[in-house]
Every structure is written in C-alpha cells, then in structure tokens.
Amino acid sequence: MNYKIRSIREKMKLLNIQGLIISNPENIRYIIGIPVEGTILLTDKENVFITDARYIEEVNNFLTINDEFIIYDNKDVSEEDNQTFFSDCENVGFEENYVTYANYENIIRKYRIRNIEETDRIIEKERMIKDEKEILYIEKACEITDKCFEHLLNYIKIGMTERQVAFEIEKFFLDNGADGVAFESIVASGENSSKPHAIPSDKIIRFGDPITIDFGAKYKGYCADMTRTIFAGEVSDELQNLYNYILKNQLRTTKDIKEGVSCKMIARSVENDFYLYNYTLIHALGHGVGLNVHELPILSHNSQSILKENMVVTNEPGIYLTGKYGIRIEDTIRVGKLESEVLTKSSKQILVVDAK
C-alpha cells in the first residue's frame, strides 16, 4: 500500500477511528501525488477516491496497484453507495479544521455516520516530514527563488515602486518554470518595512531605504519562503548594526535546527536574546513549508513539536521599529540528523542596490 496511506491508517488506529473522510485539497494532493479534485474515503475495507470525469483518466494513469485505491466517478456513486462506505465503522474521522459547519452536517447525512470524530490535523501532521520527491520540489522552488533574488539585485532601482518589484517577482517566477508565487510577495521599503505583513504599495523606493522582500516560488505545488532585507543607495550605521544583530540570531538558529530539538526552545532562545537587547520578536520564529507556505510545525514559544529529519521549516527572526523601519532575514531549511541544510542560498551579507 502507498506508504502515506499505511502511515495514516496506523494513526487512525490510535484515534480509534475506522473510517476517515479527507476533503482538504492539499491533503488530497499529498496522498494522491497530483493536483486533482475529489474526496478520499478510507473505510475499514478499502481506500476510495471519488473524483469526476475531468480527472479519472489522469488519476488512473498516475496511481499504481501499490496505491490500492478504488477510483470512482462521482456520477456513478449512488446514494446507497454513500450510505454503505462507512456502514461497518463505529467512528469516522473528518477534518474539522477544513470542513465548514454546513459541510459537516452534509457529511453526516450523506454517509449516514454514526459517530463523527475530530482528527486534530491528522494528515497535516503526516505532511511535516517530507519524502525525497517533496524535498526535490522544494529545493527547485528555492532555486528559482534564489535566481529571482539575483535578478532583483540588478533590477531594483531607486524611484521604482514597491508594486513594480512585486510584479517583477511574479513575472520572473512564471518565466522560469515555477507554477507562480507561493504567496503574495511582500516588498516593503523605508517606513513600510516596519510592518511585518506590508502589502506592496505605490510607495517609491528612496535613497537610504531598507527594502524587505519576503517571497517564494511554487514548484509542482511545493513552496519556497525567503526574506532578504537589502538597502537602497546606502546603509546607515544604525541599520547595519541592527542587520548584523538579527543575522547573528538567524545564523545561530540555523545551527540549532536539527533532529530532536524542540521548536519551543529554538524560538525561546531568540526571544531571550532579543529581550536582553530590549527588542521583541512579535511573530513566530518560523513554520513548516511544503504544499502550503505555512504549515506544521510552528517554531514559537507555544509549540509542542520536536524537529525531525526532513522536516522543512523557515528561520525568520525580524525586528520592527514602528514608524521607522524593520529588518527580517529568512531562509527555508531542511532539518537534518546532525546538521541542517539551508535550501535558500542567497547571500545574507549587507547588500546595497544601485542609487539610480
């Protein structure tokens, strides 16, 4: 059986559920391996994928006998079929963090479920550890992101707007084999950089501005996530000092990230250092990256996760001085047994782009 399904079925035993309904598209893509619409039903008897005419052929070609999936066209699934799938299941799990309340009610009616059970992100937890192919796709997404950054260093000029730079990122990704952006790029210059989630505006990049660029390509569904803060024309001593202080924390964290370390301790270590210097870390230090740009685990003081080999996480300390400016430095990192590998390889030296 597909190793992903086998592992999910083991977790189902622990939750004492005999059936599971999977409807979150990213979870389906994770299990099936290609982007197709439908619903996966794991019953006590079989693995079922209900899709429609648009995808049947593709799914049949892609899945092998090893996957042990029975594939249905939804137009061939009768009301009675639906009521039979889970007829021998005492408890059936569902994705309570994805399914709307209205669909929750539909599901119970449609499949005549006796006991429906919350599953606490059962699939999302499986997705934390990436396999070889997933890592390959993330590496490729990071590679395109790095290339784009190199391009931006020549492209960005004083007098351009933030929005222009954001457009250029999207164009570059599309022209260089990516699916597109993994998330809406942040390009925040000068005062705007003091907002961690600034939206690219028509503000013009001025001499002396720090420019925070938070961006990432998506490749075959998998995301990269990188932030660099660069400087327009010149960089003041004040900005250099703050930059180097954040970089020191970012580099130390990268060394800390490896199998067996708790996400909470990693985040606390940066928080404590910031505290000593009178700064505050106002967002999580990092998060998992995969089919979603934000996924499990979270690297923050209230995380319960322990890092494991082949998790892929970000490391993104940032300091934001309201009304002045902000600096953030972020990499996407594959967790290793003894040391981890930084997948976004762009320079983290202080970089100054052309004055005109």
Q: Is the peptide bond before 317 cis (omega within 30 degrees of 0)?
A: no
Query: CB of residue 234 vs a copy of itself: minimum separation in angstroms?
Result: 29
Report d(CA 130, CA 83) in Å as an integer: 35
What sign does the CA torsion over 95, 96, 99, 102 have? positive
- Minimum Å gap between C-beta 252 and a copy of itself is 28
Q: Which stretch binds a copy of itself (CB under 8 A): 61-69, 89-97, 141-149, 297-305?
A: 89-97
Q: Which is nearer to a copy of itself, 114 or 171 (CB)?
A: 171
Task: State how far the alpha carbon of 266 is from the alpha carbons of 86, 281, 318, 323, in Å.
Answer: 43, 13, 15, 29
CB within 8 Å of 197: residues ≥ 6 apart: 186
Residue 19 three-state SS: strand
Strand order across the beta sheet in which 217-219 lies? 180-181, 217-219, 222-223
Selected range binding a copy of itself among 90-98, 137-145, 224-232, 333-341, rule: CB under 8 A: 90-98
Told to check if 74 binds a copy of itself by CB under 8 A, we report: no
Helix (H) or strand (E) holding 297: strand 295-299
Q: Taking CB under 8 A as the rule, does residue 155 contact a copy of itself?
A: no
Let me know: does 320 contact 196? Beta carbons within 8 Å: yes
By CB under 8 A, is residue 49 in contact with a copy of itself? no
Closest CA to 21 of 82, 75, 102, 64: 82
What is the number of residues in the chain?
356
Q: Which of 90, 118, 131, 354 binds a copy of itself (CB under 8 A)?
A: 118
Q: By C-beta, is 81 or 184 nearer to a copy of itself?
A: 184
Using CB under 8 A, which of the segments 92-100, 185-193, 210-218, 309-317 binds a copy of itself? Answer: 92-100
Confirm or reject binding of residue 99 to a copy of itself (CB under 8 A): yes
Using alpha carbons only, what angle is made at residue 62 by residues 76 and 141, rounded to the nearest 5 degrees? Answer: 125
- Considering the rule CB under 8 A, would residue 61 count as an interface residue with a copy of itself? no
* Three-state secondary-structure class, residue 176: coil
Work out whether 104 is an interface residue with a copy of itself (CB under 8 A): yes
What DSSP designation does 306 have? B
Position among 61, 79, 197, 280 found at the interface with a copy of itself (CB under 8 A): 197
Nearest to 297 by CA among 288, 284, 286, 306: 288
For position 167 contacting a copy of itself by CB under 8 A, the verdict is: yes
Residue among 94 and 325 whose Cβ is closer to a copy of itself: 94
Q: Contact letters (x/-) for a copy of itself, 169-188, by CB under 8 A?
A: -xx--xx----x--------
- Tell whether residue 98 is a contact of a copy of itself (CB under 8 A): yes
Closer to a copy of itself by Cβ: residue 90 or 175: 175
List residues near a copy of itself by CB under 8 A. Answer: 54, 94, 96-102, 104-105, 118, 167, 170-171, 174-175, 180, 195, 197
